[in-house]
Structure 1
Amino acid sequence: MSKRSYGQYCGLARSLDVLGGRWSLLVVRELLDGPARYNRLLEGLPGIATNLLAERLRELEQAGVVQRSLDADSNSVVYSLTPWGSELRGVVTGLVKWSTPLMISGPQSDTFQTHWLSVALSSLLDNKHTDEPRAVGLEVDGTLITVRTDKSGISIALDDDAQPETVLRAEPMVVLGLASGMLTAEQAIAAGEFRGNKKDLADALSPG
Structure 2
Amino acid sequence: MAITIKGRGSGGDAVMAPRSRSVLAIQDGTVQATALEAGKFFPQTTGGHSDPAFHEDTPNSAPPADGKIASAGNPGAAQLDRTDIEWAKHQVVSGEVLDVTWSFTVLRTVRRFNYFLTNADWDPTLPLARSQFEDKPFHTVENTQRPFWNYQSELAAQSPTTHSIPLPQRTDHQVLLAVCEIADTGTALYQVIDLSFDS
CA radius of gyration, larger in: 1
Which has the larger helix fraction?
1
Higher relative contact order (CA 8 A, sep 6+): 2
Structure 1 length normalisation: TM-score?
0.25
Structure 2 length normalisation: TM-score?
0.26
Which has the larger strand fraction?
2
